[in-house]
Amino acid sequence: MIYIRLFLEFFKAGLFAIGGGLATIPFLQDISRKTGWFTSQELVDMIAISESTPGPIGINMATYVGYETANLAGAIIAVIGEVTPSVIIIVLIAHYYLKFSEHPMVQSGFYGIRPAVAGLIGAAGFEVAKISLFNIDKYLLSHDVFDIINIKSVLLFTAIVFLLNKYKKHPIYFLLGAAIIGIIFKF
């Protein structure tokens, strides 16, 4: 039963997360709420690891969640669930694209999808920022405004944005630096 649920949850995420990548995060949050397979903090950690490793974030997340939930078989089934919609859609699009690519309705459809993808990515970014920069759980318990801000994370975020703009180095240097700082100070 767990294998069927893993497949279906990740199939749905793969089917509706148009644009992939960060657009899958709202669907992963929904999986977390419905199943309890991982917490919000684990999701943020998984995103950080998935963004730091090669490969699409959805595949990395499906692998991690599937493995944590049902070992190797769960990882394989979750990944199959995640990629199946894309394979089906790509085969269908490839078959019909040349025939209909210039049709105004097709072009309008692609034009309309862009803001939806931007909205999904923006919502995902907001959720990640909310979890990593703010201590929402502490605020809900004490209602003290100063408990809501994770000062160390906000300072690190600000420093990285400043350094990225100033030095124009490859982002991997900043990821490695932030990982080392996080390990040393255990944010």
pLDDT at 162: 83
pLDDT at 76: 95
pLDDT at 179: 78
pLDDT at 25 over 90: no
Reading the block at residue 142, the tokens are 């004490």
pLDDT at 99 over 80: no
Give the mean model confidence (pLDDT) for residues 125-153: 67
What is the pTM (predicted TM-score) of this model?
0.58
Q: Is 185 left (phi over 0), alpha (psi -120 to 50) or beta?
A: alpha
**122 contacts: CB under 8 Å, gap ≥ 6:** none
